[in-house]
């Protein structure tokens, strides 16, 4: 089979054929998911060389665990879950993340929760973001809990349902964290504008 034929196959079909013994399919699977995984990892760690190393580890783990992959689930969300866990392992080793930021996923913030994010301020803030040369510093300040939701939503183009599978959180929690994340981002962007 030629590479073009493989391109037309779904992830599930590729994995089935790979597990059936067609080992030459592995590079096709890697190639298909390399950039999305790298972008997601970069969005979290915000360092290019670290993101490359982590992406490499992610695919080694994928290769090791592919036999245990349950084909009832979406392959993309499975890979992203592995990527997320690998990033968390990296953070744990680095110990630069306060893990309570992850643990308190349900932390109540009624004001932030009830605020709608379509206020004129929000539009203004994101318009500023377009002018900002690098979003990196802003994302760095955003708590990882919100950063991962926003990165999965806007860089990886995943739906709220897919994000809830990857993060193993209820859909409502993800929606609320998405909303809060946007609020935080807006605040950070406005602060950046004031600093300018």
Partner 1 sequence: MDNQLEKVFKNFSARHDLKSEVFLQSKIMTQIMASQAKQVKLRAVASRIVGALSFIALFPIIINLFSQLQSSGFWNYFSLLFTDTGTVAIYWKELALSLVEALPIFGITLATFLLLALFVSLKFININHLSNKLEVNKKYEFKF
> In the complex, which residues of this chain contact partner 1 (CB under 8 A)?
3, 23-24, 26-28, 30-31, 34-35, 38-39, 42-43, 48, 52, 55-56, 59-60, 63-64, 117-118, 122-123, 126-127, 129-130, 134-136, 139, 150-151, 154-155, 182
CB of 165 to partner 1, least distance (A): 21
Tokens of 174: 């993800």
CB of 59 to partner 1, least distance (A): 5
CB of 184 to partner 1, least distance (A): 13
CB of 136 to partner 1, least distance (A): 7
> With respect to partner 1, which residue has the nearer C-beta, 150 or 165?
150
> With respect to partner 1, which residue has the nearer C-beta, 105 or 124?
124
How many other C-beta atoms can be found within 10 angstroms of the C-beta atom of residue 35? 10
> With respect to partner 1, which residue has the nearer C-beta, 56 or 104?
56
> With respect to partner 1, which residue has the nearer C-beta, 164 or 181?
181
């Amino acid at each position: 089979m030629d590479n073009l034929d493989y391109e037309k196959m779904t992830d599930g079909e590729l994995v089935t054929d790979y597990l059936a013994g067609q080992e030459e399919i592995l590079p096709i699977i890697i190639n298909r998911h390399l950039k999305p995984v790298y972008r997601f990892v970069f969005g979290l760690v915000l360092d290019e060389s670290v993101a490359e190393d982590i992406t490499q580890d992610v695919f080694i783990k994928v290769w090791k665990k592919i036999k245990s992959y349950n084909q009832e689930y979406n392959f993309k969300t499975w890979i992203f879950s592995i990527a997320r866990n690998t990033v968390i392992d990296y953070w744990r080793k680095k110990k630069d993340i306060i893990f309570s930021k992850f643990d308190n996923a349900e932390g109540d913030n009624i004001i932030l929760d009830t605020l709608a994010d379509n206020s004129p301020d929000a539009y203004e803030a994101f318009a500023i973001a377009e002018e900002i040369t690098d979003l990196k510093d802003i994302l760095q300040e955003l708590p990882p809990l919100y950063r991962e939701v926003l990165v999965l939503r806007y860089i990886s183009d995943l739906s709220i349902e897919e994000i809830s599978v990857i993060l193993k959180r209820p859909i409502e929690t993800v929606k609320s964290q998405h909303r809060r994340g946007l609020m935080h981002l807006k605040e950070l962007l406005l602060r950046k504008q004031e600093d300018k």
